[in-house]
Amino acid sequence: VVDYYKEACRALENSETASLLGKIQKDWKKLVQMKIYYFAAVAHLHMGKQAEEQQKFGERVIYFQSALDKLNEAIKLAKGQPETVQEALRFTMDVIGGKYNSAKKDNDFIYHEAVPALDTLQSVKGAPLVKALPVNPTDPAVTGPDIFAKLVPMAAHEASSLYSEEKAKLLRDVMAKIEAKNEVLDQFMDSMQLDPETVDNLDMYSHIPPILMEKCAALSVRPDTVKNLVQSMQVLSGVFTDVEASLKEIRDLLEEDEAQERKLQELLGKVPPPQGSPPPPSPGLAEVSKECSKYMEVHEKASFTNTELHKAMNLHIGNLRLLSGPLEQVRAALPSPTLTEDDKQVLQNLKRILGKVQEMRDQRTSLEQQLREMIQKDDITTSLVTTDRSEMKKLFEEQLKKYDQIKVYLEQNLAAQENVLKALTDANVKYAAVRKALAEVEHKWNTTVQTLVASYEAYEDLMKKSQEGKDFYTDLEGKAAKLLEKARAACQAAEANRQQILEKEMKKQPPPRPTAPKPALQKKPPELEAGGLDAGDLPPLGSLVLSELPEELRSL
């Protein structure tokens, strides 16, 4: 490589070459010289490695030193070169510098071999491994494309422009017809609202949709989903019932205490409060009543939320059971259309005609593309150069005939549109009833799928809300239980207080003195007057007296 660059450097120093290249001759020469030093450094690096393998440690040092010197010269000449060149030189300096320092240190401290002069060693000779090929100045691979290839007479250019205008006119006429037909076809299809991909969507009902399969798979690895939800509902209901029972008992205790207080007021002769306004309770019961009212208000608000949560759970449990079950049950739960043989025949006919419409569209697009490509590639400049000006019009006519065949195909395609649309109209009339039935089934199918997916997605939310409800009612249950104990104690204290008041009132009033009416003197019975009875046979005086008393006194 060094020898080849040296030859290139000598060629650059030639006066003829220098005059041909001008200002860039110095830059090229500097670059070639830099490469000579660089590759010479690399060559001496390899010579040093060879000396190392042969254990000629003195020669190794001088080769590495020579490589380092030549690389320094290359670096000096590389000023102004791109960063990639600078980076390569820095990398090479790291390699050669490291080798030289290591070799010199080893020889100074270990081997102590004499370091010979470089010119006493055998010079490195180049070995050509490839055969140089001569350069052919006329070879396009060397010189590039002919810059005069498009150089033609002005008259030919003018004729070519006229021909291009004829081609453009032909294309405009054809495209106007195609666009008019396409516009009619698009408007017709929009009015029909017939999508070939959704006209016959019966395959959709033969399998479970992927989103539902995903939910079923997710529930299959969580078999306790429904069980956990039911248990959560039961626990929540139990805690809810306990809270309600505790609050009802507190309310009953307060009402009972209020009734007892009202009776006491009446017994004491005090004017009772107006009907509907309870007597003022004791301070302890007033606090209990206030807290009970607060808990009742919270309970009523939470009760509505709890009821809604249970409704949501009952709504979704059935769907979750379905998703957790066999796939056949899920598939059976999805609606599917029931079509007669006539309905299927109507569908097939409509699909066939829609296929014809799409085939007509594709063929039209393909023919249009072919026409555009033919016009773009159509270049008759060579013929125009050799054709007389008076013959140009005839030449244009002959050249434009090449488009007749594709124009015929396009005309046939455009003419077929009317028949295809008429057949599509007739098929659509027969399809109306089937379409309505399929639309209803599809709506039900989509609704069912969305409902099942929503039930799966609501599971985590229901469990979370159920747990929040349990936590809320557990806390409320603890507070209600404490309040119940407090209410019982307050009611007992109030009852004891009422007993004391009654006892005091009884002691203040003396007991009434009983007054018995004087017995009336009675006439002796006939037996005594006759002397027929002994005194010992007489009934007791009290009974005689009581029996002779008037009815009103006897009852008193």
Q: Is the pTM of this model over 0.85?
A: no
Classify 112 in phi/psi space as left (phi over 0), alpha (psi -120 to 50) or beta: left
pLDDT of residue 15: 85
Q: For residue 307, how many other CB atoms are within 10 A of its CB?
A: 11
Q: Which parts of 107-224 fold into alpha helices (H)?
A: 140-143, 154-192, 196-199, 210-220
pLDDT of residue 525: 47
Which tokens in the block code for residue 232? 């959560």
Q: Which parts of 401-540 fold into alpha helices (H)?
A: 404-508, 526-529
Q: What is the DSSP-derived secondary structure letter of residue 207?
A: S
Domain boundaries, the chain: 1-130, 152-271+280-507
pLDDT of residue 104: 94
**Contacts made by residues 419-426, CB under 8 angstroms, sequence distance 24+:** 420/353, 420/356, 420/357, 420/360, 421/185, 421/188, 421/357, 423/353, 423/356, 424/188, 424/192, 424/194, 424/350, 424/353, 424/354, 424/357
pLDDT digits (tens, 9 = 90+) for 163-185: 889 889 999 999 999 999 999 98
pLDDT of residue 109: 93
Contact indicator for 208, 327 with CB cutoff of 8 Å: yes
Yes or no: is domain 152-271+280-507 CATH 1.20.140.50? yes
Amino acid code (one letter) for 119: D
All residue ranges of the chain with pLDDT < 50 are 271, 276-277, 518-546, 549
pLDDT digits (tens, 9 = 90+) for 393-402: 888 888 888 8
Dist CA 321 CA 330 (whole Å): 10
Which tokens in the block code for residue 81? 């070169």
Amino acid code (one letter) for 437: A
Angle at 242 (CA atoms; ends 240, 243), nearest 5 degrees: 65
